A and B are shown apart, each in its own frame.
Chain A
Amino acid sequence: MLEAVLSKLGLPGYEPEAARQKVYGVIGDFDTPEDLLRAIRTARAAGYTRMEAFSPFPIHGVDEALGAPRSPLGRIVIVFALIGLTAAVLLQWWTGAVDYKLIIAGKPLFALEPSVPIMFELAVLLSAFATVLGMFHLNRIPTYYHPFFNYSRHAGASNDRFLLAIEAQDPKFQADEVVRFLESCGSRHTEVVEA
C-alpha cells in the first residue's frame, strides 16, 4: 500500500517498474514544430511505435502522427453532471417535502421550477471537478518524478524546443540505432536517457 503511494509519488528508491530499467529511451531535440512532426512521421514509417513528443504548446497533428486515441474525458464528465443533477433534486425534495415540512408562502412542499437553479449549479460544479480531477488522473499528475527530466535539455520543452523520445519499451529499440536515426531526422542534440 505504502509502497504503491510512494512509487506513485516517484520518490527516489520507489521508482515505478518502468523507471527501474536502466534506460528510459532516446530523446532528440528539434527547432520547430514542423521538424518535430516530420521526425515523428519518419519514425512511424521506420516502424517505431513507442514514441512521445514534448512541446511548449500543443501542436496540431502530433496526435495523428503518433496515432494516439481520443481522450475519454468527455464521458467521465457526463456521468458526474448527471450525478450532480440528481443529487440536487433529491436534496431539495427530501429536505423540503420529507424530512422537515414547512408551510412557506402556501407553496407546494416541493416543485421542480424553483429547484432548477440549484440543479443546474450542482451539475456544473460536479462536472468541473470531474473534468479537472479526470484530467489529472489521465495525465498521471501530480507525478514529481519522470525519467524525461533526466534529459539534459528537458527545460527546452517548456520554452522553445520540440523534443521527440523513442522509448526503451519499443520492440525495435536499439539505443545507438535510435540515436543515429534521430540525428538523421535533424535532431540538434540526441541523448540516451537513463531511467
Chain B
Amino acid sequence: MNELIQLNLSSLTGRKYWRSLNQLADTPEFRQWVEREFPEGASELLDSGSRRTLLKLMAAGFGLAGLTACRRPVEKILPLSKGVEGYVHGRPLHYATAVETCGVATGLIVECNDGRPTKVEGNPRHPFSLGATNAFQQAMILDLYDPDRARQVQKQGVKSSWAAFEAWWLEQSAKLGDGAGLRILSPRSTSPTLESLKAEIAKKYPQSAWIEYEPVNFDRVLEGARLAFGQPLQPHYRFDKADVILALDCDFLGLDTLSAQPVRQFASRRRPEDGQELNRLYAVESNFTITGAMADHRLRARASDVAAFALALARQLNVTGAELNVVNQPADRERKFLAAVAKDLLAHRGRSLVVAGPRQPAEVHALVALINQALGNAGQTVSYTRPPYQPSDSLAAVQKLAEDLAAGRVSTLFVLGGNPVFNLPANADWAALFRKTTVVALAADENETWKAATWQLPEAHPFESWGDVRALDGTASIRQPQIQPLFGGRSALEIAALIAGRAERRGHDLVRSFWASQWGAEAEAKWKKALYDGVIEGTAFPPVDVKADAPRVFAAVQVALKPAPAGVEAVFYPSWHTFDGRFANNAWLHETPDPMTKLVWDNAALLSPATAKRLGVKDGDVLEISSGGRTARCPALVLPGHADDSVSLQLGFGRAACGRVGRGVGHRVESLRAASNFWFGPAEIRKTGATCRLVTTQEHHTLIEPITGLKRHNIVEEFTLGEYRERAGHGKHESHPPTDLFPEFDYSKGYQWGMAIDLSACIGCNACMVACTAENNIPVVGKDQVARGREMHWIRLDRYFSGEEDDPQAVMQPMACVQCEKAPCESVCPVAATAHSPEGINEMAYNRCVGTRYCLNNCPYKVRRFNFLNWNKDIPEIRKMVFNPDVTVRMRGVMEKCNYCVQRIEEKRSQAKAEGRRPIRDGEILTACQQACPADAIVFGNINDPESRVSKLKRQARDYSVLEELNTKPRTSYLARVRNPNPELV
C-alpha cells in the first residue's frame, strides 16, 4: 500500500502534482490512505471538485475572519495602525510579528485580508529587517496554507487528541522523577519566555537535558569568540562603516545571514553618488555565492584552504606578535591576492572588516577576531554582545544524546519542532534510536521525525501561535499570531509549559506573563506598544568591551590548523530552495531559481569546469560522493567560478516523508554529513553512470554571443570606479535615439510611474521574485513545465557571467516588464488587450486577451508570461486562501506580466483621495519587489516629480535603458554596476 502511494506521489512534483491531484484522489487506495492518515474531511479537502468542501472552506474562511476579530478582546493583538479605525471589510490589516530561523530572528509585518494572512513584509522598526525581507520569509505564508501540514494528534499513527496526550503526559511525568530519562531536543530558540520555561524544567527535572540542534548553525562563530575572548560572543558587523571587506568563505549577503541588515548596510556603500567612498569587497570562497558575485576581487579556494589563507593573512599582518607558521604555501595568484588584501586592509585601519563564514572552524573565527582587533576594527566595524541564546556545542550534545538513546538511558524524548531524524549528523541511525524510547514529536508536517515518533503532535505555524524572539543584538519582539491555528496545532512554547507543569498553557498567557514579570508596573502599556511596534525598546544587549588574547589564539591555532589534505572535498551549504529542508514542501521556493546556477526543483553537486573535465562529468551525471563509509548520490552541475577539487552540496532535498510538493525532489546529502565532516571534509567522487534531468531557467549564457564572439552592449553596463568618475564628469550621457515618425504621446501631466534598478546594489537574492509571486498570485508550473520554458515569474533575475569560464565575474539583473512608452507588444495585439494607461503603465486586460502570443514574440525583454495551461486547476481549497484578493487569478490562454503592482498604486490613490485629495507622497507606493528588496536596489515613483527619488536616480550618470537603441522608451531604467577593483590586482 505505502509503496503504491510512494509510487503515485513520487511521480508528482510541483505542477504535475497539482494537476493529477484529482485523478490521484480518486484511486480507492489513495482515498483509504487519506482517510487513515488525515482527519475526516481531508479527503474532500484534497478533492477540490467537491461542493461540500467549497462551502465548508468558505465557512471556515469567514469563521476565521470572525475569529481573529472576536478573540481580540481576549488576547489583545494590535494592528500596526495605518489610520484604520476599527475593521473595514476588504481593507487589509497589518500586524507586527517576528520569526526566527536557526536562532536568527527578524521582525515582520503580515498583511491580513478578512482574517486571512496573505502577505509578509519586513518591519521597518526592526533593526534586522529595516522593512525588508528575504525570500524565505516571503515564502513562509505559503507553508501556512500547506494542505500537507500535520493536522491531527496521533499516537503511532492512530488518531488521538490533545486531551489524550495531556493525560498520558500526566502519568508519564509522574514516573520521571528527577528526569534522568527526560530529554528535550529542539531547534535553536531565542525566546526569552522559552528560556524561563527551560529554567523551570531544569529545576523540576534536574537530571533532564535540553538539547538545541540546528543543521545550519553558527556554533563555530561563537566558539571562535570563546577562543579569542574567553567567552562566547555574538559578533556584529557594520558593513556600512567598512571601506574594505574581506569575506572568508562567508556568504554574508546570502545564506550565511538570515536577515536583511547586512545586505542593506553593504549596499549602502555601493552607490558612488552618495559621496561616500565605495567599499571594496574581497571574497575567498569555494562555492560561487552571490557574495562572490558582488565581490570586486574573488579568490577561489577550497573551504579547507581558507584557514591557511587566514593564517597567512594573520602572519602578514603580524597579529599575534609571534611567528605563525603558514600551513601550506599559497600559489602565486593567492600570494598576489593576499599581499594586495593585506595592504588594502592596513591602509584602512578601523575602516576595514574581515568576516568568516559559519562553516569555518572556530580557530579561523578566533584568528579573524584577532585580525579585526589588530586592524583597529573592534568597536568600529565590529562589536560583540552576548548571543541571543544560550550557546552550546550542539554537535557534542547530539552525540551524547545518541549514546544515551543507544544505552537506553532515555525514557522520554521530546522533539519540539524541526526534523532531526532527517538532518541530525549521520553518525547514528536516528530513526532506529528513536524507536528505542518514547518520542513525543511536535512537527509542522508529517516528516521523517513524525514518522519515527510515538506521540505525533501537529505544530502551530509561527503565524498561528504566540511567542517571542530575540534578534542577534538581543532586541526582543513579540510574535503575535495572525490567525487561529488552522489544524489545532500548538507551539513549542505551549508544550514546554506542559512539561514544566505550568498552570497556564496558552501561548498568549505564557508570553504575556513573562513580559509582565519583566516590566512590572506599566506592563499593559508596554505590552500594547510592543505588539504595535513589533520590537521591545531597550532590550538590545550592550556591546561588551573585550580584548582578544593573542597567545591563546596563537596556541589554539597552531594545534588545530593542519595542512588541508589534497584531493576533492565535499562542502555542505543550505539551499536557496528548501534552506535545510524546512521549506521542502514550499512550491514557491522550489520554482524560484538558485541565484547562481538558476537550477529549479532540484539540488546538485556543484563542480568547477576543470574538476568536471578531469572527472569526465557532464551536467546531470549522477555522482556517488562517499566519505568515511557514508555515501550520497547527487547529480552534477558545472558552475563556472567554483573552486577546483571541491564539490558543493545543498542540504534539505530528497525528503522521504514530506508533502506532495517536496517528496522525492532532489537528492538527500545529509546521509554523507557526520559530525566529523559536518561542514566540509575529504570525499571521493564516482560517476554512477546514471543521469538525472536538471532544469535551469537560464543557460550559462554570457553577454558574449556564440558564433560571432561579440559582446552584447546595452544590456548590462558595468564600469570600474575610475571609468565611472570619468563618465560622471561628462554628466549623464545622452545617446541619440532615432527621431520618431510621429508625435510623442503627451506624458507630461499627472503621475507618471517609473522605476530605477541599481545593479550596483542588487545582490540577486531572489527576495523580489518570491515577493512578486506572493503579491501577484503567480502560479507554480513545476519542473517539467519550467523545462519547457514556461515559468511564470513576472520578475526574474538574469545572471550573466563575464571573463574566463574558470574564474568569471557575475552580474545580476532583475528583469520585469520595463513599461516601454512605445511598447512593441501593444501595437501587435489584434484585440487591444494590452494598452497604455495615461500614467504610463503598460496594462494587460486579461479578460480581453485571446492569447495570440504575438506580444510575447515582439517583446525584446521577453518578460511576458503566457498561461499555456490552466496552472490554477486543482489547487486545494486551503491553498487558495493565500491568494491576494486585489489581483486577478489568471485563466488559461491569456498573457500576463508585471504592471508595477497597479493594485498597490490604486490602493494608495484612493487612500490619498480619502485623506482630502492630497497628492500621493513620494515613496508612499512601494511595489512588492521594492518593498522586499534588502539592498534597496529597486526604486519606484513618479518621474514627473523632479524631486522624487526615482527621478533623482534617473538623472545619475550611470542611468541607462536596456536595449536603448530600440527606442522603446522604457520606464524602468537601470543604474550601471560599478566595480571597485584594487589597481594592484587588475
Contact = CB atoms under 8 A, between A and B. Distances in A.
B308 interface: no
Contacts of B835: 102-104
Contacts of B821: 106
Contacts of A104: 826-827, 829, 832, 835-836
A130 to B, nearest CB: 28
Contacts of A108: 742-743
Contact of A107 (B827, B838, B969): B827
B822 A105 contact: yes
A102 to B, nearest CB: 4
B854 to A, nearest CB: 13
Interface string A138-167: 000000000000000000000000000000
Interface in B602-636: none
Contacts of A106: 744-745, 821-823, 836, 969
B127 interface: no
Contacts of B488: none
A73 B243 CA distance: 89
A111 interface: yes
B836 A103 contact: yes
B376 interface: no
A54 to B, nearest CB: 51
B857 to A, nearest CB: 15
A102 B826 CA distance: 10
A105 B826 contact: yes
Interface residues of A, number: 8
B981 interface: no
B671 to A, nearest CB: 57
A111 B743 CA distance: 12
Contacts of A102: 832, 835-836
Contacts of A107: 742, 822, 827
A27 to B, nearest CB: 58
A105 B743 CA distance: 12
A103 B837 CA distance: 7
Contacts of B744: 106
B391 interface: no
Nearest to B829: A104
Nearest to A103: B836
Interface in A77-128: 102-108, 111
B824 interface: yes
Interface string B727-745: 0000000000000001111
Contacts of B822: 105-107
A20 to B, nearest CB: 57
A135 to B, nearest CB: 34
A45 B454 CA distance: 123
Contacts of B836: 102-106
A187 B608 CA distance: 101
A108 B870 CA distance: 36
Interface in B716-757: 742-745
Interface string B800-825: 00000000000000000000011110
A103 B745 contact: yes
A105 B838 contact: no
B118 to A, nearest CB: 32
B970 to A, nearest CB: 12
Contacts of A111: 742
A111 B741 CA distance: 12
A102 B832 CA distance: 8
A105 B832 contact: no
A104 B855 CA distance: 12
Nearest to A102: B835
A106 B821 CA distance: 6
Nearest to B838: A103
A105 B823 contact: yes
Interface string B833-858: 00111100000000000000000000
Contacts of B832: 102, 104
Contacts of A103: 745, 835-838
A93 to B, nearest CB: 15
A187 to B, nearest CB: 63
A26 to B, nearest CB: 62
A109 to B, nearest CB: 10
Contacts of B969: 106
B688 to A, nearest CB: 54
Contacts of B742: 107-108, 111
Interface string A35-63: 00000000000000000000000000000
Nearest to B828: A105
A103 B745 CA distance: 8
Interface in B925-940: none
A104 B823 CA distance: 8
A111 B826 CA distance: 16
Contacts of B837: 103
Most buried by A among B742, B829, B969: B742
Nearest to B823: A105
A182 B706 CA distance: 87
A105 B835 CA distance: 7
Contacts of B824: 105
B88 to A, nearest CB: 34
Nearest to A100: B832
A105 B820 CA distance: 8
Nearest to B825: A105
B250 to A, nearest CB: 48
Nearest to A96: B832
A154 to B, nearest CB: 53
A105 B854 CA distance: 14
A15 B821 CA distance: 70
B651 to A, nearest CB: 49
A106 B836 CA distance: 8
A194 to B, nearest CB: 60
Most buried by B among A103, A106, A107: A106
A22 B853 CA distance: 69
Nearest to A95: B832
A96 to B, nearest CB: 9
13 contacts: A102-B835, A103-B835, A103-B836, A104-B826, A104-B827, A105-B823, A105-B824, A105-B836, A106-B822, A106-B823, A107-B827, A108-B742, A108-B743
A-B pairs with lowest CB-CB distance, top 10: A103-B836, A105-B827, A106-B745, A105-B826, A102-B835, A104-B826, A106-B822, A105-B823, A105-B822, A106-B821
Given A103-B835, A105-B823, 18 more contacts: A102-B832, A103-B745, A103-B838, A104-B826, A104-B827, A104-B832, A104-B835, A105-B827, A105-B836, A106-B822, A106-B823, A106-B836, A106-B969, A107-B742, A107-B822, A107-B827, A108-B743, A111-B742
